[in-house]
Amino acid sequence: MSPVSIKTENEINLIREGGRKLGEVLRAVAAAVKPGITTGELNALAEKLIRAAGGEPSFLGYKGYPASLCTSVNEEVVHAIPGERILRQGDIIGLDIGMRYQGFCTDTAVTVPVGVIDQETTKLLSVTKEALNRGIAQVRAGARLGDIGAAIQRIIEKNGFGVVRDLVGHGIGKEVHEEPQIPNYGKEGMGMVLQEGMVICLEPMVTRGNYEVTLEPDGWTVITKDGSKSAHFEHTIAVLSSGFEILTK
């Protein structure tokens, strides 16, 4: 296990700048989602905007991943590869995007509706987004990873949804994934203590049914075992003595 990387003020400034740019890219990609567009078209847009912002797509080629954007539709939880799939009215799509800027990575995700979606799926999206916010609210120097996981888990399970166990949040910096791993479940007061200068990604992955997942034959796409829909939201966050700063807002 690699040691946890503590960032300097200058490094956090660079990550903040990259995160702001990546947040703008993700908003533009999300705004392009509509019935009839393909996941491949969204990927092309994401790559174009990342490069126009002065960054490089950090997912492209990462451990062999063949795209700049992950486009996970309906029962696909994360890491679905964009291509010729056409989005249809009533679908939901998780857009997960990463950028390397001035030597540092940021990572953010949102799940958006394709046209009009049913009430229960609308609730799934709002609860997942709120779970991310509840987790972020726990972030400060001296807090523990279990405090974050417990806050996320509590609201998800209170609303009758499943918390994916097999995938976690993570540290980030010069690499796409750094220590520590950050589960979306846990017990308050347990786990690693957060330190000022850490930069982390929180990313609850939530299902309408059972939390168990399985890997598709492509070696990337993670889907729910029971075929239920799934949502995913993510931000890159700096740990401060006073609390947190969302760097990909």
Token digits of residue 35: 């019935």
Grouping H, G, I as helix, E, B as strand and the rest as coil, residue 101 is: strand
Q: Is 177 annotated as a binding residue?
A: yes
Contact 79, 109 (CB under 8 A): no
Q: How many C-beta neighbours within 10 Å does residue 240 have?
A: 16
Is 235 labeled as ligand-binding?
Answer: no
Distance CA 138, CA 148 (A): 6
Cα dist from 51 to 18, 19, 165, whole Å: 12, 14, 34
170 is in an annotated binding site: yes
Contact 92, 53 (CB under 8 A): no
Tokens at 214, concatenated:
């399985």
- Which pairs from 44-51 meet CB under 8 Å and 24+ separation? 46/95, 46/97, 49/24, 49/25, 50/22, 50/25, 50/97, 50/99
**Is 96 annotated to bind ligand?**
yes
234 is in an annotated binding site: yes
Binding-site residues, in ranges, read 79, 96, 107, 170, 177, 203, 234
Binding-site residues for a divalent metal cation, in ranges, read 96, 107, 170, 203, 234
Binding-site residues for substrate, in ranges, read 79, 177
